[in-house]
Amino acid sequence: MVSASKAKRLAKRGGAADKKDKKGAASGADEVAAGLAKVNLNGGDSTADELQAHMLRTSTGVLTSMKSSRDVRIEGFTLSCFGKVLISETTIELNFGRRYGLLGENGAGKTTFLRTLANREVPIPEHIDIYMLAEPAPPTDMTGLEWVLEEAHKELKRLEEQADEILTTEGPEDPVLQDIYDRIDAMDPSTFESRVSSMLYGLGFDADKMTKATKDMSGGWRMRVALAKALFTKPTLLILDEPTAHLDLGACVWLERYLADYDRILIVVSHSQDFLNGVCTNMIDLRAQKLSYWGGNYDAYVRTRAEQETNQMKQYNKQQEEIAHIKAFIASCGTYANLVRQAKSRQKILDKMIEDGLIEKVVPDRVFTFRFPEMTKLPPPVLGFDSVSFSYSGKMEDALYVNINLGVDMDSRIALVGPNGVGKSTLLKLMMGTLSPIGGRIQRHSALKIGHYSQHSADQLDLEKNSLEFLRDKFPHISEDLQYWRSVIGRFGLVREAQTAKIGTLSDGQKARIVFALLATESPNMLLLDEPTNGLQISVIDSLAEAINAYSGGVVVVSHDFRLLDQIAKDILVCENKTIRRWDGDIKGYKAYLAKQMEGRC
């Protein structure tokens, strides 16, 4: 039985064949233009910052895949920003049905590269629709559900108009047309509301948040609404840059399971090794201004790369020994005619090796090991909650916490977990003393000095200064010597020109390193860390875990990064139902518990 919508399309196909002849052949100038970077700043909705960044960003590349293909291959791709070359003469290759994890050091240019793709500053065919999750849903009077439904209907209309245009200009045999028809049928407007509701529920929306207007939501919750739109409309090329940054552990588990079935093209940047392992079929490594491609998830990438580098070093050492042997023979030949002839022959062999290209020595990843300063042990109780209750309104009926008891000492390594909105960050603020309980008592040791890292810690940085000037001006009583601060910030992985660049031009991960340097310089004896891994590459997260484990003070962490928590957490406290309870097990067990809860939400 043929659906009404499909019957309508078949009727259109019948009268479209004769229109195919009306398509004009592209002129030579048009063909050249198709090979140049195109600019489409999201329909003119880009922010002033993005427009300025675009003006300072240049890219080139030539499309070499078929224009009707759902794959993308662009050769000779070069990208620069603020006059700095980030990627040089490399190939972009994205195959339909693959899910790519994009790797690279902080500041290597991952986000700039993704924005270049999203804004079509490279010649991606127009039939490949692109969506990059970069901004939250706008503040409106609509609920998150209503806004996503409206966007879904817009996308359905766009697809139908695109199908009509291709049918008219290219004819019914165009290979792109069937894919668009399949997408239209799969969208199925009759199920929009139930499917979007299920998606928002998986991303952490309860009944109360479902009815809230987006204008009354925080930026993090509006980002979840935008993520729901991206997932529901299923663009051909979906780009997600740190999609878990605003999610709790439960929503991270749901998103990982959902994206594992994404059947178009996905590029994701994530600092979570667990997430990359669960989602990705391939990895792209941005290294030394080149893009290299690897099959498999993150663990497979690490294993395969290690094997290749081991073999490369064996070949490199063998070749270097051969070169040394040839040079030694040439140097020993003296002036005898027969030996001179042999020397010239060996020199030709050496010249040919150089001309063909010598095997390069493997350059290992930079590993930055930093430490927080040693602290004098404070005897317990260091920080204690005794029957503490808290409410922002001051009324017990609105309480986030009721009668909680908690102790944090110098050897504590506590992970606070639970859904967003239950008050994990609020609990940290109660520990700091920036909020006061409405009931019970909080005791702090008289010598306790707390260092706090929050998701918004980078806001305290002066974006017009470089990192050296900022730290010097922040702590002039320690040293005014920039060389001293160069060594301090260098220990946190900010090196070379990144130290002297304005903080405002640095990546989020590089800014985070400055905040860690700031924290270490303040010498606290207790660290409260609220989402400390956002923007950090995986190797730096491992360095952070090592620093936390070596730290002599107490640590309380709120994080959605399972790998970090697995390395540091001795105690896992679940915040829920206005109280806290100790999880009897490790973080892997808690993830399995969340995964079981998420069954049926996709």
* 53-112: pLDDT as tens digits: 555 677 888 888 777 788 999 999 999 987 889 999 999 999 999 999 999 988 889 999
What is residue 59's three-state secondary structure?
A: strand
pLDDT at position 305: 95
- Read off the pTM: 0.82
Name the nearest CA neighbour of 578 among 408, 419, 415: 419
Range with the lowest mean pLDDT among 291-300, 388-397, 468-477, 531-540? 531-540
> Which own/partner pairs from 387-396 qualify as long-range (CB within 8 Å, at least 24 positions apart)?
387/439, 387/440, 387/441, 388/430, 388/437, 388/439, 388/440, 388/441, 388/442, 389/437, 389/438, 389/439, 389/440, 390/423, 390/426, 390/430, 390/435, 390/437, 390/438, 390/439, 391/438, 394/438, 396/438, 396/439
Residue type, 49: D
Cβ atoms within 10 A of the Cβ of 118, count?
22
Integer angstrom CA distances of residue 208 from 156, 214, 517: 28, 12, 40
The CA distance from 252 to 562, in Å, is 10
The CA distance from 76 to 64, in Å, is 10
Q: Partners of 466 in the beta sheet?
A: 502
The fold of the 383-600 domain, in CATH, is: Rossmann fold (3.40.50)
pLDDT tens digits, one per residue of 125-139: 888 999 999 889 999
Helices (H), 377-462: 424-432
pLDDT at position 170: 81
Tokens linked to 343? 């020397």
pLDDT at position 601: 54
Q: For the chain, what percent of residues have pLDDT higher than 90?
A: 61
Burial (0-12, 13-18, 19+ Cβ within 10 Å), 69: middle
pLDDT tens digits, one per residue of 434-482: 999 999 999 999 999 999 998 777 778 899 999 999 999 999 999 999 9
The CA distance from 501 to 496, in Å, is 9
pLDDT tens digits, one per residue of 504-552: 888 888 898 899 999 999 999 999 999 998 888 888 899 999 999 999 9
Integer angstrom CA distances of residue 575 from 147, 415, 526, 551: 30, 10, 21, 25
Query: Using alpha carbons only, what angle is made at residue 390 by residues 389 and 391, rounded to the nearest 5 degrees?
Result: 140
Residue with tokens 């601060």, as numbered in its chain: 485
CB 231 within 8 A of CB 257: no
In the chain, residues under CATH classification 3.40.50.300 are 383-600
What is residue 453's three-state secondary structure?
A: strand
Q: What share of the chain is helix, strand, coil (3-state, %, to 5)?
A: 45, 20, 35
CB 558 within 8 A of CB 576: no
The CA distance from 323 to 349, in Å, is 9
The CA distance from 37 to 526, in Å, is 51
Tokens linked to 47? 């922010």
